[in-house]
Amino acid sequence: MSQRERIRKSARSESFRQPRALIYVVHEGELTEPQYLKGLERACRQNRVELKLAQVSGNPRYYVDKAIELKVKNQDEMDQFWCVFDQDDHSVKQLEEAKMLADLHGIHLVVSIPSLELWLYLHHKENPGMSSQSEMEKKLKRILPDYNKSVEFKDYQSGYRDAVKRSAKMLASAESENDYWRNPTTRIHLLCESIRGDCNW
């Protein structure tokens, strides 16, 4: 075996042995969240990140409790555990309680305010301003008239980097004023970037 062949074989073996990071996501949406996140995972063709989704319904505390259950059963040093849900009619008190519990157990909390439609909107336009959930959906439908909760990631991929920048800018502004639950904000770009990893598109 030549030196070049030994190097190639060694590189393949090292790549094969490298463990995959598992990202567990507890989410509320039946269509939008899983379709977008799994589409992102497929687009990245990562062999070192695997996404595992669990759809549940309930209040903010319930989402975090479910993520804690997953962490107890599946914990590994490379694993990440996330909760993803919309603000909906949940009170700030409920959100604060969920955040405290999530922080205590190392769970990443993503609350889209007012809803995940904000994140989809940011693929196309800048900060839409304060909106209710129904208003946010209407604003998105002005851009995407056929939007009905079902999404194809390929339809958003070209605007992904812009969405990350816009979302991060909005979040930084809110955090600079200690306004954790500002309308509008979302932290879902943090989860998406964890899934994307070193994908270079």
Assigned domain for 5 exists: no
For the chain, the helix, strand and coil percentages under 3-state DSSP, each to the nearest 5: 50, 15, 35
**Could you report the per-residue pLDDT of 123-135, keeping only the tens digit for each?**
999 999 999 999 9
pLDDT at 74 (0 to 100): 84
Assigned domain for 1 exists: no
Assigned domain for 113 exists: yes
pLDDT at 2 (0 to 100): 54
Q: pLDDT > 70: what percent of the chain?
A: 89
**Could you report the per-residue pLDDT of 32-59, keeping only the tens digit for each?**
999 999 999 999 976 688 999 999 999 9
Is the bond leading into 34 cis (omega within 30 degrees of zero)? no
- Rounded to whole angstroms, the Cα distance separating 174 from 169 reads 9
157 is in which domain, residue-wise?
A: 18-196
Assigned domain for 12 exists: no
Stronger pLDDT, 144 or 20, i.e. the higher one: 144
CB atoms within 10 A of CB 45: 8
**Could you report the per-residue pLDDT of 140-193, keeping only the tens digit for each?**
999 999 999 999 999 999 999 999 999 999 999 999 999 999 999 999 999 999
pLDDT band at 84 (very low <50, low <70, confident <90, very high): very high
Cα 17 from chain centre? 27
Assigned domain for 201 exists: no
Number of domains in the chain: 1
Assigned domain for 2 exists: no
Lowest average pLDDT, out of 34-38, 76-80, 105-109, goes to 76-80
Burial of 64-74, coded b for 16+ CB within 10 Å and e otherwise, reads: bbbbbebbeee
- Rounded to whole angstroms, the Cα distance separating 82 from 33 reads 12
pLDDT at 17 (0 to 100): 47
Asked if 119 and 167 count as a contact pair (C-beta separation under 8 A), the reply is yes
Assigned domain for 34 exists: yes
Assigned domain for 8 exists: no
